[in-house]
Amino acid sequence: MAAMAGSYVRQGNGQPPKVKNPRATDGDEQYEPQWDERLTITVGPKNADLVGHDEKVIQAAVDYMARRGGGTIKLLPGIYTLRNAVFLSSQIRLQGSGPETIITKINSEKVSLSDDSDWYDQEITLEDAASFRVGDGIVLRGKDAVIKRTLIARSGNRFKLDDGLRENLWLSAKPNCSSLFPLLTSEYTHDVVIEDLVLDGNAQNNDNLDGNYAGCIFLQDCNRFTIRRVEAKNYNGDGISFQICHDVSVENCHCHDNTQLGLHPGSGSQRPVIRNNQLTRNNIGLFWCWGVKNGFATGNRILANRDVGMSIGHNDTDNLIQNNTIADSGRIGILFRNDSRGNDFWANRNRLENNRIENSGDKDGIAIDIQGKTRDLVILGNQLHETRQPMNRTGIHIATQAGHITLQENTVKGFAHAIRDERTNQKGTSNS
């Protein structure tokens, strides 16, 4: 019996058997057959399963699919104008019809509250409610408070909210209510695909809403999202933002002309893949937030962003940034931010490889700026070029307290200072 047991272990190489012919088994989320056809519902202004052109009809399709365990919502060509966000559920594929599917939003309105609301209340009173309707998405702001809610009932200027406030909105803090929201959003969901559509934030007619709360797409505490062939533009805030979201893939998207960040892999997000996107004319093109780890950014074109092309900082470690083009940044091509608020909050152990960084900043511009105590970077095989006059421009700047930095096989041309290393007070000439 002992010999037979040993033989069995060797035959299986100590591994469980592979699943070769999966079946749909109740409760088994790991394995699923590749079905030839899945549940799909169409949404559009006409000739669709659900007819309409606002958030209510898209949300109805999402909720329909959610009750059946997921499926595809096909948005037909048309302009969909939202008064509230579309809230996505798990295992949903939201598929547009390419550039002809446009999701945008109403102009925002901001009014003051006319009565105090305590943190335990579920209602507000507005000074002027003429522009607000039941069903609207809103943001309430007061002292240190940003609260996203939906209006679900009203009597005159008095509205019930879909959830309690959990923050005080006292008149002494001059609180206000704005018709602001992300276009597409999701919280605590998984396995979602968003593809082939245009998101237009109508920035010229909307107040700013920070990327920690909104964007053309805003995700919070989600897993395994795929965003591809999406144009996210013109939001008074971020194009695409996700916070504490893991295994998010953003591919072949175009994030442009947003007032803040083009693409914002946010706090604590693990293993994002950012591939073949174009990030143009934002304030910052690609912003690695706090604690983004083991990410991969490759093949992206990060062009003409007003401040910084790519910014990486607070505990953003062990990421690979490879084969990207960063050009015409307003101040800095790639910035390794300084964060001295903790013991070791810098963007350590990242690798920059085979990137092209061109024409960064004004007369004092910097292609790669390594600030604070950032350490253990590998900067390998990058091409840093200045096609304008050298002026006082720098290829690579390394701050006084920075740790070990590996510079190898980089081409640095056209700068007044190819490498300006404050650790040793050395300045290398161009073409180093």
CA-to-CA distance for 14 and 376, rounded, in angstroms? 38
Average pLDDT over residues 243-266: 98
pLDDT at 2 over 50: no
Among 171, 294, 301, 277, which residue's Cα sits nearest to residue 226? 277
Six token digits for residue 290 = 């706090």
Provide the pLDDT for residue 188: 98
Residues 6+ apart with CB under 8 A from 155: none
pLDDT at 415 over 70: yes
DSSP helix/strand/coil, 7: helix
pLDDT at 196 over 70: yes
Among 332, 259, 255, 263, which residue's Cα sits nearest to residue 295? 263
Provide the pLDDT for residue 37: 84
DSSP helix/strand/coil, 325: strand
CA 270 to chain centre: 13
Q: Which domains does the chain have, with CATH numbers?
A: 110-178 (2.30.30), 180-428 (2.160.20.10)
Provide the pLDDT for residue 425: 77
Provide the pLDDT for residue 38: 84
Average pLDDT over residues 67-94: 97
Q: Give the model's confidence band at 291: pLDDT under 50 very low, under 70 low, under 90 confident, else very high.
A: very high
Provide the pLDDT for residue 432: 41
CA-to-CA distance for 335 and 287, rounded, in angstroms? 10
Average pLDDT over residues 310-324: 98
Degrees (nearest 5) of the Cα angle 307, 362, 234? 30
Looking at residue 67, the DSSP 8-state letter turns out to be H
pLDDT at 114 over 70: yes
Residue type, 417: H
- Percent of the chain at pLDDT > 70 equals 96
Provide the pLDDT for residue 28: 83
Query: What is the value of pTM for the model shown?
Result: 0.93
Q: Are 310 and 321 in contact (CB under 8 A)?
A: yes
Q: Give the model's confidence band at 342: pLDDT under 50 very low, under 70 low, under 90 confident, else very high.
A: confident
Q: Give the model's confidence band at 15: pLDDT under 50 very low, under 70 low, under 90 confident, else very high.
A: confident
Residue type, 332: I
pLDDT at 333 over 70: yes
CA-to-CA distance for 316 and 297, rounded, in angstroms? 13
Q: Which residues on neighbouring strands pair with residue 431, listed in sequence order?
A: none
CA-to-CA distance for 402 and 377, rounded, in angstroms? 10
Q: Give the model's confidence band at 334: pLDDT under 50 very low, under 70 low, under 90 confident, else very high.
A: very high
Q: Give the model's confidence band at 431: pLDDT under 50 very low, under 70 low, under 90 confident, else very high.
A: very low
pLDDT tens digit string along 350-360?
A: 999 999 999 99
**Exposed/middle/buried for residue 378 (C-beta within 10 Å: 0-12, 13-18, 19+):** middle
CA-to-CA distance for 91 and 367, rounded, in angstroms? 41
Q: Which residues on neighbouring strands pair with residue 308, listed in sequence order?
A: 284, 332
Which DSSP string do the residues of 250-281 spell out, in sequence order?
A: EES-EEES-SSEEEEE-TT-BS-EEES-EEES
Q: Give the model's confidence band at 226: pLDDT under 50 very low, under 70 low, under 90 confident, else very high.
A: very high
Helices and strands (H, E) in the chain, number of each type: 2, 40
Among 432, 424, 315, which residue's Cα sits nearest to residue 368? 432
**Exposed/middle/buried for residue 309 (C-beta within 10 Å: 0-12, 13-18, 19+):** buried
pLDDT tens digit string along 115-126?
A: 999 999 999 999
pLDDT at 13 over 90: no
Give the pairing type, strands 356-358 and 261-265: unpaired
**343 or 66, higher pLDDT:** 66
pLDDT at 3 over 50: no
Average pLDDT over residues 357-384: 98
Residues 6+ apart with CB under 8 A from 119: 164, 165, 166, 167, 168
pLDDT at 244 over 70: yes
Among 305, 318, 375, which residue's Cα sits nearest to residue 344? 375
CA-to-CA distance for 63 and 56, rounded, in angstroms? 10
pLDDT tens digit string along 150-192?
A: 999 999 999 999 999 999 999 999 999 999 999 999 999 999 9
Largest pairwise CA distance in the chain: 84
Provide the pLDDT for residue 12: 56
Q: Are 269 and 316 in contact (CB under 8 A)?
A: no
pLDDT at 109 over 80: yes
pLDDT at 242 over 50: yes
- Mean pLDDT score of the chain, rounded to an integer? 94
CA-to-CA distance for 227 and 206, rounded, in angstroms? 24
For residue 56, give the H/E element and its range. helix 55-67
Q: Give the model's confidence band at 426: pLDDT under 50 very low, under 70 low, under 90 confident, else very high.
A: low
pLDDT at 85 over 90: yes
